[in-house]
Each structure stands twice: as structure tokens, then as C-alpha cells.
Amino acid sequence: MEKGNVIAIDGPSASGKSTVARKVAAALDWLYVDSGAVYRAVAWRVIQNEIDPSDQDAVATHAREIQANFFVESGAVLFEMAGERPGEALRREAVNRAVSPVAANPVVREIVTDWLRGMRELGNLVMEGRDIGSVVFPEAAFKFYLDASPEERARRRHAETQEGLSVDAVGASLQLRDQIDSRRMTAPLTVAKDADIVDSTGMTIDDVVAVILERVRLARET
């Protein structure tokens, strides 16, 4: 298959997108892209520069100056921002708190959307996010919307975090981000009209991966 095909996997926090998208990409030998990591990296730069994440003008000015470099490594599209690879810093609670206001900034969205579209030059993509099927690649061949109950999502994220927060505190942090992500004016979290919805509550990761791969296989055969 030529490069530049896209499988979009959208959904709220901790719906299982990352693990599922990684496995789908590995099974197809396509490149995995975590678009949330790119927004997190912009938020991380904003915090490092002591800019208030909700100061729209200051964030926009800073975002325009960021030099980002994207490359392929171990089956994924990774990046350096301002010459640095952010690594584990992206998952810190300070970044969790800053990322939704930063990602609601229309200038940040325009810049990151351009970066994400440019990644098609690197190969076939399995890209996870909030607006991949609706805004970034509305023409994507495959669009999935992954969901799970709020309780299940809080449990899953709690099992991954290492900052000693309770399940309730993790659930509250997720809920706050979901609200900002769903209510923002630019590219809110929505189900693209032609997306397949998969509710992963009670499903294993491998069940979800199998559902997606089966749909892709069927579509390729017809």
C-alpha cells in the first residue's frame, strides 16, 4: 500500500486509544502517532517557559516560535521540540492540568494540525487523538471512536500513574479534561459522523484491536 493512508482513532482520556493504536499499527506495519503527546509537548514548553496556560496571546506567541522536528523510530512518529525530547515529563500531573487549556487555543490547534498532516509524508499512519477523524484527516479511510465508562477510565489511568493519587482524584482530573476538550470552540472532542464507535468497557485491549483489524480487513477486501 502506498504511504499516506490514515486510520483515525479518537476518544476521551484513558479510553484505551494509545495501547490499541500501537497494536493496530504494529499488526499492519503502519506508523503509530500519539497526537496527544504533541499537544502535551506544547503544554510542557509553556510550563517550562513559565507562561500561564490560559493566557491565550502569550501561549499563541510562544507556540509560533517552537521548532519541532518529527522522525520515525521503532514504528512510531516521534519528535524533538526546541531541540529536546520531552520523554516521561509529558505524563506529569502539571502537564495534565495545562494541556487542555493549551489545546483549546486556536493558534496551537492550527500549528499542531499542520504538523500532524505533514506526517503523512513519513508513511501510513495510525493516529490517535480527539479530532483526527473530524478535523485533521476528515478523508481518513478508517475512523474509530473508542469509549469506556468514566469509572473504567479512572481505574485504567490510576493503574498507570505513579504520583500517588487516589482513583477518585485521577477520575476528577480526567473529567475536568473531558469537559474542556468537549466544550472548547475549536475542534472539540466529537464523534466524526462516519466513525465506528467501539465501547471498550468490559472488552480486553486485544478484543478491541481484533474488532478494528477485522473492519480494516473487510474494507480492504471489498
Among residues 129, 142, 144, 154, the one that binds ligand CDP under rule CB under 6 A: 129
Among residues 27, 36, 150, 210, the one that binds ligand CDP under rule CB under 6 A: 36
Burial of residue 2 (CB within 10 Å: 0-12, 13-18, 19+) is exposed
Identify the three-state secondary structure at position 72. Answer: strand
Q: Binders of ligand CDP among 80-109, rule CB under 6 A?
A: 99-100, 103
Q: How far is the CB of 174 from ligand CDP (least distance, A)?
A: 7
Among residues 77, 125, 131, 148, the one that binds ligand CDP under rule CB under 6 A: 131
In this structure, are residues 102 and 59 in contact, taking their beta carbons and an 8 Å threshold? Answer: yes
Distance CA 41, CA 43 (A): 5
Distance CA 198, CA 15 (A): 10
Angle formed at CA 27 by CA 23 and CA 28, multiple of 5 degrees: 120
40 binds ligand CDP (CB under 6 A): yes
Q: How far is the CB of 139 from ligand CDP (least distance, A)?
A: 16
Name the site residues for ligand CDP (rule: CB under 6 A).
13-14, 35-37, 39-40, 99-100, 103, 129-132, 177, 181
